[in-house]
A and B are shown apart, each in its own frame.
Chain A
Amino acid sequence: AQKITQTQPGMFVQEKEAVTLDCTYDTSDPSYGLFWYKQPSSGEMIFLIYQGSYDQQNATEGRYSLNFQKARKSANLVISASQLGDSAMYFCAMRERTGANSKLTFGKGITLSVRP
């Protein structure tokens, strides 16, 4: 089974509007972390936001917020007030803490296009 699932096709949003990018995950580990990264056409991976499984509140970083629904195993990224520079690939990732495995497992990504 996939650990991280991002199934949305390419997403489009009008500039200045909000957009939600979906991510569901699968783990039996009680302790884990969830991440979102942005990858513009230049190829660099830019960290956006992190949510720990025991965090009581949803993470926020500027225009980015993470809608964490633990029971549903979802960690959707909300981008408010979209900007043209937000056009990029967005990857959801998870780190499970138990054992020696400390890697991040990434989803397949979602392409976001912001329209002027």
Chain B
Amino acid sequence: GAGVSQSPSNKVTEKGKDVELRCDPISGHTALYWYRQRLGQGLEFLIYFQGNSAPDKSGLPSDRFSAERTGESVSTLTIQRTQQEDSAVYLCASSFLGGEKLFFGSGTQLSVL
């Protein structure tokens, strides 16, 4: 596709349930990033992929959060046993290797009730 695609655009879940968020980067972009943005706040870095490996996972807030990337393409961010504090917009971005500019998706709005 022309841009970074994220699905679903909105997800409402109950506390304690697991959720999977998907990111489809721009074709050919080897770098992929996940960020979290709480309401009215800045972007918090979660994890960075270079190809299928994740050299920087330093932003994952707890072991309930995990992410994988396959085929240097699609990435999935999984949150297990969701908590209300997980409610946020989860943004994915991609770039070329060594590219300066990150291209962002429209995000997934996660609401944990």
Contact = CB atoms under 8 A, between A and B. Distances in A.
Nearest to A100: B55
B12 interface: no
Interface residues of A, number: 23
B104 A107 contact: no
B53 to A, nearest CB: 10
**B contact residues, range:** 20 to 34
A48 to B, nearest CB: 10
Contacts of B44: 106
A102 B43 contact: no
Contact of B102 (A47, A105, A108): A47
Interface in A92-116: 93, 95, 100-109
B45 A108 contact: no
B72 to A, nearest CB: 16
Interface in B43-86: 43-45, 48, 50, 55-56, 58-59
A50 interface: yes
A18 interface: no
Interface of B: 31, 33, 35, 41-45, 48, 50, 55-56, 58-59, 89, 91, 93, 100-104, 106-107
